[in-house]
Structure 1
Amino acid sequence: MCYVSLCFGTLQAQKKDPVIIISTENTTLAYTINTKNQLTQLYFGQALKTIPDYLLINSPSFPALITQGTAPVREPSLGVVHADNNPSLELQYFNHHTEVKGNIQSTEIQLKDPQYPFFVSLHFKAYRNENVIEQWIEIKHQEKKPVLLKYYSTAFLQLQEQNYYLTHFFGDWANEMRMQESLLPEGIYNIESKLGTRATNFDLPSFMLSINTPANEEDGKVLAGTLAWSGNFKLAFENIRYSEDVGHLLQILPGINNYASDYTLPPDTLFTTPSFIYTYSYTGKGQASRNLHQWAVNYGIYKGKENKSTLLNNWESTYFNFDEQKLSGLLNEAQNLGVNVFLLDDGWFGNKYPRNNDNAGLGDWEVDRKKLPNGLPFLVNEAKKNNVKLGIWVEPEMVNPKSELYEKHPEWILKLSNRSEDLRRSQLVLDLTNPKVQEHVFKVVDNILQENTDIAYIKWDCNRYMTNSFSNYLKNNQNNLFIDYTLGLYKVLQRIRQKYPDVELMWCSGGGGRAEYGGLKYSNEFWPSDNTDPLQRIFIQYGYSYFFPMGIQCAHVTNWGKQSLKFKLDVAMSGKLGFDIRVNEMSSQELKLSQNALNNYKNFQEVINIGEMYRLIAPYNNHYAAWMLIDQSKNKALLYTYNLQTQLGDHFTPIYCRGLDPDKKYQLRELNLEDEDHPQLPQNKKIFSGDFLMKVGLQWFLKGSLKSSIIELKAVN
């Protein structure tokens, strides 16, 4: 790709506008040009009504980015070693262009080093209605030899306030999304991953930043941001005491982690950073989340507005131990339950090395003829007979040493030849920097779907991170490995989506190892955690709700946890409802309760999928929790309430609803009742104004530990 204005030899200074405005309905990021022809950040905050108002701003303006080798000595956002080994970069303004199409304002600001044919374009998309800005950078050069990219942050945002309170989420397998909020210290603070694959296993590339004082759900200024990248990431916060007037100057640098990744960029090759998506709320964390959710549904998630399939997974019923007869029985159970899809999980492949456990077979994507002598077509036909679609599990990025693929193509595997193999889950990672491996991974999915055209669902898993990694393909460019691997993965996913646009895809990574919008561009939903204990899932799903809509969080009813089936159903129905349970062991009453919950979920899926979320009572410092999902017309809402491990003497405040129309009347109806004649909600089927429900509220009504209730609020005349 070559922009005419950036092609070497055609450079010509452009007339400068006094200010460059990137604006949503509520927020503006404004730049101007200083006397040295450098881009500076003039303003970041609530949108002003007219452009002349921005010219009246007399607060200090700061560089729009800081480059390596130039003053001031701060954390650089961009850095390069040129072909002549000069380790400095200076960028001057050259041109910019803005266009508006419907809801989106697109802006490109072009910069150039005056001494080198080295070009940087800053790209912005401002989503007016969602109040979200998406930002990324493109880098290109026409030097005679490759250059080395040392720093390449996606964005460089600056705030001038007294204090900042950082909220971020961390954890590990089955313990995802533990929240921490703390005063941001002076100096440099990083949230980062160096895992290569399943990069969000320990930390999320997302944050909320409260300005001056800790924000709550409905009050306070909050900057919320998330990086759309499936590989190593870094969110850097450099916080320094600037002056009495300015307070603390905070510079935020989100992007790819440059750890072991000095990237070799050949001439005339475009390097594009991942997108940073952010929103500025002036009315608390809740509005920041709703902004991100609305953007995600409209732009960030593959077919985000479409309803998802309900499914029954066989994993906890069979693990690796199944055959055609057992699966036929489960398909019949899927029909009885009322789901749309039966998902065949791990263990269906491998012949020389059958996949009877996780020690063998990974990489050999041929049907195990002992387990399935009639192949996948038999299961597709059995699914048709039972009025469900077939889904299938794959983990095509990985390989077991005990596999035919490992024996045939050792050069396709990321590993150091002079070191012992460092296995995780008895597997290694394939080298997706190699186009031949990309073709292989594409063919894994393509062959399955070509031979079985009625397969409607793919669960894409990734169960380990990179260690002792070396690419035979990259040879002397090993520092490109982490980045080129992720780009190779995206190339495969793009091809799959182009050829199979209607196949539903779950983004999974040993639990929540890929909770980010880079992969969700190609995926309909994601798997938040392998921990399906509903008590802990309340915390996990609530935590993800800060950045991701509830309707894309796959939530399955399983045998994990000792809670009642109703409690499990009510928790799972707050996300994308599914089942991974032995249906044949259910009593008739439990089956009826599950069928009823499925029908309720399908009836309300649009609200769950794209409704606005209001977090009412957080589970973190309480023994109970509540939240709401409301459709855009404010005619239909769901109120979720959960008692956790309550204690004698606990005080329960009323449930104050939010987001309703104060002038509308709402009838309340409790869903998923075990006994229709004995609802838990005293006001069941009664009518209240939205004004009453938001100001007076409902008295907390659940009694005892591990109780739950979902309430429909329906507008009536």
Structure 2
Amino acid sequence: MKKYSLLLFVALFASIAVGQQTQLMLKTMKNIVLETKNLSLVLTIEENKDVNMVYLGKKLQDHIEYRQLANQYKQGHDYTNMYQSAYTASGTRNLLEPAISVEHADGNQSLDLKFVDQQLRTLDNNRKELIIQLKDELYAFHVELHYLTNYEENVIEQWAVIKHNEKKNVKLIKYASANLSLKGEDFYLRSFHGDWIAEMQREDEKLTHGIKTLDSKLGTRTNLFRSSYFALGLDGSINEHEGTVLIGGLDWSGNFRVDFEKDPQDNLRVVAGINNYAAHYSLAPGVDFFTPKFSFTVSTNGLGDGSRNLHDWARKRRLIDGYGERYTVLNNWESTYFNFDEQKISHLLDNTKKLGVDLFLLDDGWFGNKYPRNADTSALGDWSENKSKLPNGLISIVKEASDKDVKFGIWVEPEMVSPKSELYEKKPNWVVKQPKREEYYFRNQLVLDLSNPEVQDFVFHILDELFQKNPGLAYVKWDCNAVIYNAHSFYQKDQNNFYVDYTKGLYQVLDRFRQKYPTVPMMLCSGGGGRIDYGSLQYFTEYWPSDNTDPFDRIFMQYENSLFFPAIASVNHVTTFGKQELKFKIDVAMMGKMGFDLNLEELTSEELKFAQQAVKTYDQYKHIIWHGDLYRLSDPRKDNHASIAYVNKDKSEAIMFNYLVQYGQVSKTPTPVRWYGLDPQKQYKIQEINLHDANSWIASDLILSGDFLMKIGLNPVLNNNRKSVVLTLKAIN
């Protein structure tokens, strides 16, 4: 009996001691709470001046209760007290993947960052920026952690500024933008891999202990094999309309690295930033090193809500004129390839007007004289009009386009050089290549060294001179087809700086262009989907998802891209690729910013009339597609069809795209597709549009309530005779 009394006393004493220790911890810790409309991110400043991240999720009503967070998690022992570090440094007591590693000027590789100060700035009525200053106690080495909250959109942008005042250069071994510490039951990752004409191939997996890494080492076209954008399920699954998910990525057009580490306590650490592969950056004293932004949102209502957050944020904060207008384009590439002259272009300008679109885009092949651009083997770098094809120069075409009430745009690939070019002969040291190794080409070309300011000036002047010499030029398609082989810069003193400075050099050119030409529409191409990120998209109005324009494949690519990027930015052209009928191709292209790459002479008179009418129809509804809320209603990777809807902000109009993706004798949609995002109190008149040589299978007088459509749904009646169906909803009350 005495033995049990003693045990009870010891247990009671231990309980009191733990309680006192917890209360002491709550008093000594200082919470920093960042909030958006629905989310909160909570950091703590520990007694020893460590900064930890303790929470990311739904915001609490009572701020005081954030103090109880630490007391509610009874997890395993943390040997280092650093598992939850907001920016994990290496070389002292850390045992996990670091966010930052350095080699000091004296060769020491340890770093221990301690809290110094914090500042909260209000940028406008929607955005606040938190800056946390950290410093090593032994070295003059500083890090600023930046957290920018977009209140209404529930998007957080995170980055770091690294600087030092040591006597010599410090080598940055790793320098991430973000270091998240996440709690959950099970973690599921949705990432995207691919290759040329096979972009955005989805892959879902459960994250287990260890490290899963998404990365790129290509230098340019860095999304060719792998996207830095991902979705992360935090409560055991990834679903469209329910569950907690984090979606986002690194806003950087160079090499990236995102690590997912499930730690010994079963929490998940996400470390995202520039890839430190072959890039141990040499940082001079007094120089600020800005890491790119890691932008993300957390949705507690599935992927769809997260996508709508990112879309609203991107239209407002990233894309040029994200809530504005766009040109509908006719491109000449599949009509002529490299084989054209002034007469053919004149005829294509007539076709542009006949089709009813806004702008004619002249693609590759218009430049080069000593080495004419008649194939992809020469002339990149020699940006003067080819005198055989264009004896009167671009200016005569721009003027003719204006006379025919058509806008004119031009294709360029200014980052690249052909070995067979005058530029290469004159400036061999402007080219990225190893000086004593055999050249290795990607699409018969090499990359110009944009880490070199002289090359930056050259690339800027390519664009500037086009606009100076051709007033009225209204559109640019910026391509980038090569990756970097044999990486070496004749300009850089330290080759470790090359990959980072190349991308920063690209941004400096684009920033300079945008300062002078802030509103010119510009397409980001990059051999298809090789460079789709919000680092580059802040300079562009739109992007080219893939050189694969087969509408069947594009359904999947455009569906997956919609997870991160709004429809107004996705350039979808109707082309000769694919064996589908013209209606199917146009219906797929309408999902975003529709355009054409067709030879109108190859269309029948009926097809031409349909295409002309489709342009007019698109003009009626494109404002909903571009500026409305996206709802993915049927997943083509799970169902035999894809259904995607756009609903305008006041829920008075909507448009629904439906495509059959599995063909067979009995392929059809046997059950209705359930809607989201409508007003349950409104009555909606339903109409099928884009009909071609067929009557609608949807009753012309069909009216359904938003309540019915969201609880029961609407069957688009897809089958082998109706492989694509576009429906509109219009509120009548």
> Aligning the two structures, in what range does the TM-score lie when normalised by the shorter sequence?
over 0.9
SS of residue matched to 1:182: strand
Shift of 1:686: 2.1
The Cα offsets for residues 288-325 of structure 1, whole Å up to 9 and x where unpaired, read as 11111111111121211112110000000000000000
Write out aligned runs for 1:525-536 (5 A). Answer: 525-536=542-553
- Structure 1 counterpart of 2:307, one-letter code: S
- Aligned 1:320-469 pairs, distance under 5 A: 320-469=338-487
Q: Residue 201 of structure 2 corresponds to which residue in structure 1?
A: 178
Question: What RMSD over aligned residues (CA atoms) do the two structures have, in Å?
Answer: 1.4
Equivalent residue in structure 1 for 2:501, among 468, 484, 491: 484
The amino acid of 1:47's aligned partner reads: K
CA-CA distance at 1:519 after TM superposition = 0.5
Check the 8 A contact 1:680/1:701 in 2, yes or no. no
How far 1:703 moved relative to its partner?
2.1
Say which is worse superposed, 137-146 or 639-648, in terms of deviation.
Answer: 639-648
Q: CA deviation at 1:99?
A: 2.6
> For residue 84 of structure 1, what is the aligned residue in structure 2?
106
Cα deviation, residue 705, structure 1: 6.3
Instruction: Tell me the equivalent position of 1:258.
Output: 276
Instruction: Find the residue that maps to 1:32 and give its secondary structure.
Output: strand
Task: Give the letter for the 2:372 counterpart.
Answer: P
Tell me if the contact between 2:34 and 2:149 (Cα under 8 Å) persists in the aligned partners: yes
* In 2, Cα distance between equivalents of 1:462 and 1:333: 28
Residues 320 and 347 in structure 1, CA contact (< 8 A), matched pair in contact too: yes
Q: Displacement, 1:17?
A: 8.7
> Which of 47, 53, 65 is equivalent to 2:59?
47
2:182–2:268 Cα contact (<8 Å) kept: yes
Task: After TM superposition, list the pairs within 5 Å mapping 1:675-714 onto structure 2.
Answer: 675=693, 678-704=694-720, 707-714=723-730
Listed one character per residue, the Cα deviations across residues 184-235 of structure 1 (whole Å, up to 9, x for unaligned) are 1210100100000000001111111112321311111111121110000011
Give CA deviations for 1:644-674 in whole Å, capped at 9, x if unaligned: 2322445633111111001111111111111
3-state secondary structure, aligned to 1:56? helix
Deviation at 1:16, TM superposition (A): 9.8
Q: Deviations over 1:345-378 (max 9, x none)?
A: 0000001000000001110000001100000011
After the TM superposition, which segments of 4 or more aligned residues of structure 1 sit over 3 Å from their partners? 648-651
For 1:36-185, what aligned pairs fall within 5 Å after superposition? 36-57=48-69, 58-59=71-72, 62-100=84-122, 101-185=124-208
Aligned-partner SS, 1:346 = coil
Distance change in 2, residues 1:705/1:181 (3 Å): farther
Partner of 1:715: 731
Q: Secondary structure at the match of 1:376?
A: helix
Read off the aligned partner of 1:26 and give its amino acid letter: N
1:166-315 counterparts in 2 under 5 A? 166-242=189-265, 248-315=266-333
Deviations 1:557-589 (A, max 9, x none): 000000000000000011110000101222222
Greater shift in the superposed pair: 53-62 or 530-539:
53-62
For structure 2, list consecutive stretches of 5 or more residues without a partner in the other structure. 1-26, 74-82
Which of 656, 659, 683 is residue 677 of structure 2 equivalent to? 659
> Aligned residue for 1:31?
43
Matched AA of 1:318 = T
Distance apart, 1:241 and its partner CA: 3.6
Which of 18, 28, 32 is residue 30 of structure 2 equivalent to? Answer: 18
Return the offset for 1:40: 1.3
Deviation per residue, 1:628-654 (Å, 9 max, x gap):
001111111101111123224456331
Partner SS for 1:153: strand
Please name the residue that 1:316 is paired with.
334
600, 610, 614: which is aligned to 2:631? 614
Asked if 2 retains the 8 angstrom alpha-carbon contact of 1:146 and 1:264, the reply is yes
The 1:96/1:430 distance shift into structure 2, 3 A limit, reads same
Contact 1:411–1:472 (8 Å) recurs in 2 = yes
* Residues 333, 584 of structure 1: 8 Å contact kept: no
Please tell me whether the aligned partners of residues 563 and 706 of structure 1 are also in contact (alpha carbons under 8 angstroms). Answer: no
Q: 1:344 Cα shift?
A: 0.3
Q: Measured at CA, do residues 67 and 42 of structure 1 come closer, stay the same or move farther in structure 2, by a change above 3 Å? A: same
State the shift of 1:621 in Å.
2.4
CA contact (8 A) 1:225 1:278 kept: yes
> 1:425–1:464: 8 Å Cα contact kept in structure 2?
yes
Look up the equivalent residue of 2:60 and give its one-letter code. L
- Cα distance per residue 1:142-170 (max 9 Å; x no partner): 11111000111100001122310100111
Q: Secondary structure at the match of 1:540?
A: helix
2-structure distance, mates of 1:503, 1:702: 40
Which of 1 and 2 has greater Rg?
2
- Once residues 33 and 693 of structure 1 are traced to their aligned partners in structure 2, the CA distance between those partners, rounded to angstroms, is 49
The 3 A distance-change label for structure 1 pair 172 and 706 is farther
The one-letter amino acid paired with 2:254 is G
TM-score by length of 2: 0.93
Alpha carbons 2:105, 2:168 under 8 Å: kept: yes
Tell me the CA shift for residue 331 of structure 1: 0.5
Q: For 1:494, which of 484, 499, 511 is the aligned residue?
A: 511
Distance (Å, rounded) in 2 between the aligned partners of 1:454 and 1:124: 41
Q: Which moved more, 1:42-51 or 1:501-510?
A: 42-51
Aligned length: 695
User: Residues 55-103 of structure 1: CA distance to partner in whole angstroms, max 9, x if unpaired?
Assistant: 1221458222210102231101011111111101111101111133201
Partners of 1:307 and 1:605 within 8 A in 2: no
TM-score, normalised via structure 1 length: 0.95
**1:521 paired to 2:538:** yes
Q: Residue deviations 1:693-715, cap 9 Å, x none?
A: 11121234122167111111111
Alignment-derived partner of residue 7 in structure 1:
none
Corresponding residue for residue 613 of structure 2: 596
Report sequence identity in percent.
48
The answer to whether the Cα contact below 8 Å between 2:668 and 2:718 also exists between their aligned partners in 1 is no
Instruction: Go from structure 1 to structure 2 and tell me whether the alpha carbon gap of 1:353 and 1:673 turns closer, same or farther (over 3 Å shift).
Output: same
Match of 1:631 among 633, 636, 648: 648
**How much does 1:500 deviate?**
0.7
Tell whether the 8 Å contact from 2:716 to 2:725 is kept in structure 1 after alignment: no
Task: Specify whether residues 685 and 570 from structure 1 end up closer, same or farther in structure 2 by C-alpha distance, changes over 3 A only.
Answer: farther
Amino acid corresponding to residue 343 of structure 2 in structure 1: Q
Paired AA for residue 339 in structure 1: V
Contact 1:119 1:141 in 2 (8 A): yes
* Deviation of 1:623 (Å): 2.0
